[in-house]
């Protein structure tokens, strides 16, 4: 008996197709193929549509949902009972860290403003800020935070680390109000959950030093958007954002027009390197599932999924 895998990308399908005893189908959206009742291992698209989430309830043999994102809060409420949910922790570290460092440099050196001047044919010489000698506060010190720190190391900066709990060399998040006022650059890399939603509110933003840069590579809901608009619209703070709340950001939203705000449309992890690493992760996870071994990055459900009755392994 074969094991049916549904995956959202052809690249993932190619990575797992040669595993013994598997049937692989590529499904991203639209009408579900008739084999939905056979699916045991499901890899949805990066941000599943309501149809993609609802499909899980129609998979009676489903045992594993492997996400392509580190965040899983958008999928967990729809997870059928007894199904193992795994995230893609680590797969987007390089892309997100590259974006964070690139966004910091672009914002501090005012690349967006110079690009606008170029389009106008205007030679807009002026002195800018620099990353060298800056104090950088990393808020969230998991695998992505560590990847950001490694890439910042050659830039001669002073780094302070903050995580949910204090440990050697890392401050606890309860110290954030005291630490944030000393930072020239604040990089948000925390997961999205009840504890982090709105954690960067008006009070916390008010503690940031004049001219400081807020970089959000986490989730839009971590920052109070109205409070950020208030601070950036008068030029007191700057921001580089890959995520916003709401998202997508409506065309008429005031955040688009705030001076010193640089916005990209949630693309930090959208790189070929991330796709390759996701494909490798899915292959490893599928092989572990077929062998009855514990899965990596389990965030809900049993670490070793129970095979369906009559599985042919």
Compute the C-alpha angle 234/240/243, nearest 5°: 110
Q: Is 311 a catalytic residue?
A: no
Q: How far apart are CA 14 and CA 5, in angstroms?
A: 12
State the catalytic residue, choosing from 171, 219, 238, 277: 219
Nearest to 136 by CA among 104, 113, 89, 99: 104
Q: Is 126 a catalytic residue?
A: no
74 within 8 A of 221, measured Cβ to Cβ: no
Collapsing DSSP to helix, strand or coil, 55 comes out as: helix
Cα atoms found within 13 Å of the Cα of residue 150, Cβ hemisphere only = 11
Q: How far apart are CA 242 and CA 45, in angstroms?
A: 19
Collapsing DSSP to helix, strand or coil, 240 comes out as: strand
Token look-up 């999205």 returns: 192
Q: What is the DSSP letter of 21?
A: T
Compute the C-alpha angle 245/175/177, nearest 5°: 55
Q: How far apart are CA 5 and CA 39, in angstroms?
A: 6
Q: How far apart are CA 24 and CA 257, in angstroms?
A: 46
Go through the chain and tell me how many residues it has. Answer: 313
State the catalytic residue, choosing from 266, 277, 283, 296: 266
Q: Which residues are catalytic?
A: 219, 266
């Amino acid at each position: 008996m074969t094991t049916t895998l549904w995956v959202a990308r052809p690249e993932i399908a190619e990575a797992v197709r040669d595993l013994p005893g598997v049937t692989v189908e590529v499904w991203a959206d639209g009408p579900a193929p008739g084999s939905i009742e056979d699916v045991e291992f499901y890899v949805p698209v990066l941000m599943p549509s309501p149809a993609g989430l609802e499909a899980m309830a129609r998979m009676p043999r489903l045992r594993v949902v492997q996400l392509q994102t580190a965040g899983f809060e958008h999928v967990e409420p729809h997870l059928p009972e007894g199904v193992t949910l795994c995230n893609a922790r680590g797969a987007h570290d390089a892309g997100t860290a590259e974006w964070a460092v690139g966004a910091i440099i672009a914002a501090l050196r005012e690349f967006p403003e110079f690009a606008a001047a170029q389009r106008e044919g205007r030679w807009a010489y002026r002195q800018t800020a620099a990353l060298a000698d800056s104090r950088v506060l990393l808020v969230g010190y998991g695998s992505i935070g560590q990847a950001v720190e490694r890439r910042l190391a050659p830039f001669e900066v002073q780094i302070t680390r903050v995580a949910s709990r204090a440990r050697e060399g890392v401050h606890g998040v309860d110290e954030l109000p005291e630490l944030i006022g000393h930072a020239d650059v604040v990089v948000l890399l925390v997961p999205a959950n009840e504890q982090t939603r709105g954690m960067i509110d008006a009070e916390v933003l008010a503690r940031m030093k004049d001219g400081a840069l807020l970089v959000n590579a986490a989730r839009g809901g971590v920052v109070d958007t109205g409070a950020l608009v208030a601070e950036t619209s008068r030029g007191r703070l700057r921001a580089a954002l890959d995520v916003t709340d709401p998202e997508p950001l409506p065309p008429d939203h005031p955040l688009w027009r705030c001076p010193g705000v640089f916005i990209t449309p949630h693309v930090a992890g959208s790189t070929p390197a991330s796709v390759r690493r996701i494909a490798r992760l899915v292959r490893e996870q599928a092989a572990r599932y077929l062998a009855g071994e514990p899965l990596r990055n389990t965030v809900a459900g049993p670490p070793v999924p129970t095979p369906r009755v009559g599985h042919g392994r």
